[in-house]
Structure 1
């Protein structure tokens, strides 16, 4: 049995002059790189140039991260929040019964659950009906 997936910290990544977004990532560098990949979908620039216009900080518990899983709660009756422990069902034999931790999707809303499975270092998206909540963990405690 692999160790439980840690709750990824939340980072506020700001790209001047385009504003901020909240990203759940393993590290500060991973958050910057994830935002770089989003940024270069619209703009052609090098990573070095991107570093001149980006700033990143740990999102505090008081930071208004919005409620990205409101749609999931309203339409699928699944109480998903950053840090919730879940088990996957109905997504195929390779994922059946695997446990993981729900993370912030990195946007203001989502129709899928974003989960880091125990033993993995990347997130996957699964349908809300495919997750069973094992235990809820308060977000403030998860940020440590």
Structure 2
């Protein structure tokens, strides 16, 4: 059974862009390398040829995997999301009660995670603890390292 995966429009675009690059540029480059290595003579002792064929196999596996992923994804639309509580695609401003520090995170599907811009996977312990909470509520979260966080929801926006 194939697993359905949720992505944003941006995440789907990235998948399609990677597939296009692999099918056009990378396939072409590796074909040229194979042809050049083949022209050098005896293939039985040609490490360059073996490396190029291995790289071709990796590219073809990735192309196949991307096609499978793209055919089974579901694009998440923020228009269908309840904006009164924390959910996927929500940007949440929280305050760590113990440290008094405020931060904002956007909860996204795994493929769209980018901590450098505050996008965390909805499958992380912090996101899981925030899901379903409303402004003013406090979430008590147990982290994998044994620490506990108490986070107050200050604001939810999209």
Same fold (TM over 0.5): no
| Larger helix percent | 2
TM score, norm. by length of structure 2: 0.35
Greater C-alpha Rg: 2
Q: Looking at both structures, which has the greater relative contact order when contacts are Cα pairs under 8 Å and sequence separation is at least 6?
A: 1
TM score, norm. by length of structure 1: 0.37
